Amino acid sequence: MNGLRRLLDKLSIYLPLIVMALLALASWWLVRSVPVLLTPEANKPVRQDPDYRLADFSVKSFNASGRMTREVIGDKAQHYPATEALHIDRVRIYAESDSGAKMNARAEQGIATDDGKQVTLIGNAYAIKHPQETRPQIELQGERLVALPDEDRVVSADPVQITRDRDVFTGNTMDFNSNTGEHVLQGRVRGTLAPKPRKTP
């Protein structure tokens, strides 16, 4: 009787190890026995080539009241699903804010994100904010400008020139508010202020 009890005590000590070993063997057998499943569509690599092309196109956006607030025009465009962006040749943009501030822009190339939150202008990029009430006309020029329509901003990490009426400013980087006309230049900032015309008595 005592011998049987000692045997049961020893088995109770090693029982967890035996169970773990059996579970490991069962898991290994299950993995080897189940056939390889097909890779789901979601895990397929995204195609790198364009999935559609456009020619002589125009895309317009409207607000809740039906007023057009944005228009993007291009000669040709290719959409890349891998980057979720539309690459546009000879892009032209028109935008109007809720306050009525109007702005036009153009460049040799443009890259617009699918969500419409960013349009990058590349190559002889040019943008003009038209005069509004007491605010003068403002022109932006650079090799690369990034328009953020939802934020009413145009930014650049490259050298840029700003012409405000007849005053000219240059800087290495820029943050321009297209709604208020305020701009921040950083880096090597230079400015040329044109003399104001004298008032005739």
Residue 141, pLDDT score: 96
Cα dihedral value 7, 9, 10, 12, nearest 10: 120
pLDDT digits (tens, 9 = 90+) for 182-193: 889 999 999 898
Find residue 46's DSSP bridge partners. none
CB 91 within 8 A of CB 110: yes
**Tokens standing for 129?**
């904010």
Reported pTM: 0.70
Cβ count near 127 (within 10 Å) = 25
CB 155 within 8 A of CB 127: no
- DSSP 8-state symbol, 116: S
- Tell the residue number behind the tokens 């820029």, with chain if given: 174
Residue 41, pLDDT score: 53
> Is 24's pLDDT higher than 70?
no
**Tokens standing for 90?**
């000879």
pLDDT digits (tens, 9 = 90+) for 31-58: 444 454 444 555 566 677 888 899 998 9
